[in-house]
A and B are shown apart, each in its own frame.
Chain A
Amino acid sequence: MNWNDHLPALLLAVPLFGAFMAPIVCLFGKTLRNVLLIGISFVTMLVALLLWRNVLVGGIAVYVMGGESFNLTLPSGMALPIRIIMEVDAFSAFMVVCGSIASFAGALFSTNYMEKFSGIGRFVSLYFLLTLGMLGMMITGDFFNFFIFIEIASIASFGLVAFWRDKPEAVEAGLKYALVSQVGSMIFLIAAGSLYGKYNALNMAAIGSMLQFGVMEKLALVFIVGTLAMKCGSFPMHMWLPDAYAEAPSGVSCLLVAVSQASLYGLMRVCFSLYGINLGGSFIPWMIISMGLASMFFGVTMAVVQHEIKRLIGYHSVSQVGYMLLGLGVGLLVLTDARGMAEYGFTAMKGGIFHIFNYTMYKGLLFLAAGAIYYATGKRDLNEMGGLARRMPFTTAMFVIAAAAISGLPPFNGFVSKLLIYESVFAVHPALTVVALLTSVLTLASFVKVFQTAFLGPEKSVFTGVREVPSGMLFGMGVLTLAVLGATLFPSWTLSNLVEPAAKALVDQAGYIGAVMGGGL
């Protein structure tokens, strides 16, 4: 009984155990609860790294929930897999690593950040349910199971966004996110039901192997792309995102960033592995590219004029999602044209996927730094801040690293992934790169504004009592800073070990289908 084969199930079992144990452990006091919070999220990160190493070495890891043996996908001559199958290829393993690092950093941060509030037992179980929903979305191979994990993640994030139930804005943000997300999930369920009705199979690989692109598939694809693009905050449907990220407690905002990446993963999994080559015509790739462009430009123009720090960072996450949609949309555009893919399509996908990793790291760091300022000064409006660098040196240093990384200044990882996207997208049409460059300039402009007004400037008398944030929060930010600096100093290692296998796995639809349908024994 080799534990390496059971890693996909362990990846979900550990947060589930953490979520169920939280109410009991909280009866025995605060330190035990913090130990549970940090321990379970650390173990989840370990399992994620082990799973990534396994997939890198051993190819696609298939796990049948409740089957005779873990890889018995087609029991005794059945034509279709009947059980829920977890399929972890290099792209989902890459996403699982990003998500679990963000969850670990958020958990570390929340131990000190939430100590003054009541009801933290419920917070810890909701936090682990959100991690469970996110990780489940990333590794499941079953389409209806993907819907269930979306719902687990959504309900947990409604509860966590509206966690400070006496702050009117937080409850309003939670309510608006719940409204739009519930309508989206019902439309997604119609797409899942119609795919099941026609192909009598719920497994993504099984549907992918039998799919012909008819009218019903077109509508199902549109419903899925619309819902998942809304969940990751692309332009016309992004308005809930800055509200929800700004009003949630900062440890949760750091995790919500990774949860929106899980729905981006779902969008790409459906477009590449479910529809893949028989994605008729190029309307959907161009739609994704135009949504990416619109999110980039309008996200950052809205962000420049904000004067409330977490809303500004929230609008920046809308514009950064635009980069990823652009990179992967170009990859989708040239999926069928081999010469285009070899020339610039694969580089664009590598850029998009590398940007997912960088974005999850530095955006989480920005939210945690904003939370640290909020914890230390109790204020969120930039007009009232000033001269914090004197009292909070570590937070200032980490904020500088994150701000430099997000605006793509040369040595940092943001620059490398944006460079990959600029150069490859230029080959499709120069205008795409022009918009991307303009957005990067405006991102730098808005973060210079934030840094100058919040950290520099003369010493304000009202902030004399400000002290550096406690160590738990600094460790949380330190984990993400380490990840950003690691990707900065070793870009070629990160690219060849983390990003390239993920891009190859995403392009290789036949491998994804073969792992399940090819007998699997």
Chain B
Amino acid sequence: MIGNAPFFVVGLLFLAGLVAIFMEKNLIKIAVAISIISSAVNLFLVALGYRAGGTIPVHYLAGEETLMVLPTPQAMTLTAIVIALATTALLLSLIMLVYRLYGTLDVDEIRRLRG
């Protein structure tokens, strides 16, 4: 049973992020919700590579002939974190600009482009 616990946590985190996007009115909280979703996906990727009792997948540190955890999901997670950093930085800068130009952060008021 313990084996599937991380995937339940991923489901809960993802739902929390998704619900927060729709319930929140403030743009910065929506950006936080999006980073919650991306951390949920990172946890999902890392949990994929886990082998029970595996050690760190670096020969230099772990020595020879031991059961190792899969390294590829860790590389995928690292890249996903790098991408999430870049998108969050750009998203927050855009939110800063929107606050400068619209004077508000309420997502319902930022709708000059409609129809």
Chain A residues within CB distance 8 Å of chain B: 144, 148, 151, 154-155, 158-159, 162, 165-166, 168-169, 171-176, 178-179, 182-183, 185-186, 189-190, 192-193, 196-197, 202, 242-243, 246-247
Contacts and interface: CB of A to CB of B under 8 A. Distances in A.
B110 A196 contact: no
B91 to A, nearest CB: 5
A124 B112 CA distance: 29
Given A162-B94, A174-B94, A182 B34 contact: yes
B45 A189 contact: yes
B76 A144 contact: yes
Contacts of B86: 151, 155
A186 B112 contact: no
Nearest to B38: A186
B113 A171 contact: no
A185 B90 CA distance: 15
Contacts of B34: 179, 182-183, 186
B30 interface: yes
Interface in B66-115: 72-73, 76, 79-80, 83, 86-87, 90-91, 94-95, 97-98, 101-102, 110-113
Contact of A183 (B37, B45, B97, B112): B37
A224 to B, nearest CB: 14
Contacts of B101: 166, 168, 171
Given A155-B83, A176-B113, A243-B113, 4 more contacts: A155-B86, A182-B87, A193-B73, A196-B48
A422 B30 CA distance: 44
Nearest to A302: B115
A303 to B, nearest CB: 12
B97 A171 contact: yes
B21 interface: yes
5 contacts: A171-B98, A175-B95, A176-B113, A190-B41, A193-B73
B41 A186 contact: yes
- Please provide the 10 A-B residue pairs with the shortest distance between their CB atoms, ordered closest to farther: A168-B101, A197-B48, A243-B113, A175-B94, A151-B83, A171-B97, A186-B37, A193-B45, A186-B41, A189-B41
Given A162-B97, A173-B113, A179-B34, A196 B73 contact: yes
Interface of B: 14, 18, 21, 27, 30, 34, 37-38, 40-41, 44-45, 48, 72-73, 76, 79-80, 83, 86-87, 90-91, 94-95, 97-98, 101-102, 110-113
A189 B77 CA distance: 10
Contacts of A155: 83, 86-87, 90
Given A189-B80, A196-B73, A172 B87 contact: no
Contacts of B91: 158, 175, 178-179, 182
Contacts, number: 92
Given A186-B37, A193-B45, A247 B95 contact: no
Contact of B76 (A178, A182, A196, A243): A196
Contact of A178 (B94, B102, B112, B113): B94
Contact of A202 (B72, B98, B112): B72
Contacts of B73: 193, 196
A162 B90 CA distance: 10
Nearest to A305: B115
A169 B37 CA distance: 27
B87 A179 contact: no
Nearest to A240: B113
Contacts of B95: 175
Given A158-B90, A178-B87, A178-B90, A190 B110 contact: no
Nearest to A246: B113
Given A189-B45, A193-B48, A197-B48, A159 B37 contact: no
B41 A172 contact: no
Nearest to B10: A190
B97 to A, nearest CB: 5
B94 A158 contact: yes
Contacts of B40: 186
B21 to A, nearest CB: 7
Nearest to A152: B83
A244 B41 CA distance: 27
B70 to A, nearest CB: 8
A178 B110 CA distance: 14
A444 to B, nearest CB: 23
Contacts of A243: 113
A172 B44 contact: no
B94 A171 contact: yes
B54 to A, nearest CB: 15
Contacts of A186: 34, 37-38, 40-41
A193 B72 contact: no
A172 B112 contact: yes
B87 A151 contact: yes
Nearest to B70: A200
Nearest to B48: A197
A168 B111 CA distance: 10
Nearest to B33: A183
Contacts of A168: 98, 101-102, 112
A190 B21 CA distance: 18
Contacts of A173: 113
Contacts of B79: 144, 148
